[in-house]
Amino acid sequence: MAPMHLLFDFGEVISVAQPADEVAALAALADLPDAEFSRRYWAHRPGYDAGGTALSYWSGILGSAPGGALLRRLVELDVASWLHLNPGTLRLLDTLHAAGTPVSLLSNAPYELARELDRHADLAPFRHRLFSADLALVKPDLRCYTAALARLGAEPGGVVFVDDRPANIEAAAALGMTGIVFTGTPACLADVARTAITPSGTRTGPARPR
């Protein structure tokens, strides 16, 4: 049986969660308490991920427009906070690439992060890299997935989608993709590898313990 096309999210799947000290550094730079910074960071993120400008995004967080030097530093630290990759996922990707399994990326990401990921050596073997900023759409909007299917040239039943957010998996599953909620556990990684070769139906929850 031909291998399925693997479609991966990036944040907290290929990357690990933003390190707390780096988020704290961003909060300090924004002159905000950590909790309030995080609230504003995520409240304004969908518009940024959908193609909004860095100036608009950080102005919303800070409550006023940052100067050029401050804006550049905020963007630099923000992008860097997302570039800590998950060794377990990288090993899985190496195995999939070596086996000839087609692997692509579908991730919510603003332009600045998207362009950095386009240059990232660990993502070079991906057949396609699709980002929300380029699509002007954010997951779990169904149009993200239909755009991905068109780019892949694949039918929904031939795609396995891996994401850490159940809402994103549910949207993909609604179109007929096989969905796996990423937990980072060895069982989950094994589930992704096995399903890529021998599809066994849509999964909308974490991999079962073995």
Domain of residue 42: give its range: 20-81
Block residue for tokens 């086996």: 99
pLDDT for 201 equals: 42
Confidence category of residue 48, pLDDT binned at 50, 70, 90 = very high
Flag whether 146 is in a domain.
yes
Domain total for the chain? 2
Q: How confident is the model at residue 2 (pLDDT cuts 50, 70, 90)?
A: low
Note whether 177 and 114 are same-domain residues.
Answer: yes
Residue range 139-147: average pLDDT? 97
Residue 198 banded pLDDT, cuts 50, 70, 90: low
pLDDT over threshold 90, residue 124: yes
Contacts of 14 (CB under 8 A, 6+ apart): 8, 85, 86, 89, 90, 93, 105, 122, 123
CA atoms within 13 A on the CB side of 74: 24
Q: Is the pLDDT of residue 69 over 50?
A: yes
Q: pLDDT band at 196, cuts 50/70/90?
A: confident
Assigned domain for 135 exists: yes
Q: Above 90 in pLDDT, residue 195?
A: no
Mean confidence (pLDDT) of the chain: 92
For CA atoms 174, 108, 185, 95, the dihedral sign is: positive
- 147 in a domain, yes or no? yes
Query: Quick check: 164 pLDDT over 80?
Result: yes
Query: Do 107 and 191 reside in the same domain of the chain?
Result: yes
Element (H, E) at 24: helix 20-29
